[in-house]
Amino acid sequence: MKEWIEYTGFSNEKTIINQEKFEKRMGIAECDKVVLDFKKGTLTFSNENNFRAWSNIQIVGYIEKEEKIWTWSYHDVTIPEKSKDKMEEVKDFGVKHNFIALKNSNWSAEERDGLQMTSIVLTILSGESIYIIEEDSYTYFLVLEDFHLSPPHEKNRLRAKF
């Protein structure tokens, strides 16, 4: 239990520092359109000034809002493999360290639990940042990897897919 508390504390601190630096450096706060492409495993940011950036992602998991249930992406067969291809590493890490929250496929949770799991995954996978997407029935938690600013000549290559 002590190891879990230390690891979550470390991960939370690292996430706060990473988020502040990342958002400032990449300018994503100025983007008013964000598109998640489950099949490609990408997240694209844009605004009316055609600023575009994109990132490979790992869908960590999601909370079903009505039932308040957390589900790890590794457990959900409907999430394309490209969006969760590193998540077995997280489950294995949980098994190795006997971290129950990382091993159990789903459990009762609130948004703060999703944030904590995402912070832990950010640390395990050495990701760049985290991102949350709210939909009607679900809140998705993502880790951003390999973030790229798109040069202006590539702006027409990026097309949003829902």
Is the pLDDT assigned to residue 161 strictly greater than 50? no
Is the pLDDT assigned to residue 152 strictly greater than 60? no
Residue 4: predicted pLDDT: 62
| Phi, psi dihedrals of residue 154, rounded to the nearest 5° | -100, 0
Q: How many CB atoms lie within 10 A of CB 100?
A: 10
Cβ(81)–Cβ(97) under 8 Å? no
DSSP label at residue 39: T
Dist CA 15 CA 155 (whole Å): 30
pTM for the full predicted model: 0.82
Write out the two tokens for 61: 């998991």
Residue 24 pLDDT level (bands cut at 50, 70, 90): low
Residue 160 pLDDT level (bands cut at 50, 70, 90): very low
Residue 3 pLDDT level (bands cut at 50, 70, 90): confident
Burial string for 1-33 (b: 16+ CB within 10 Å, else e) reads: eeebeebbeebbeebeebbeebeeebebeebee
Residue 155: predicted pLDDT: 44
| pLDDT digits 0-9 by tens, 25-83 | 666 767 788 889 989 999 988 888 776 788 899 999 999 999 999 999 999 999 999 99
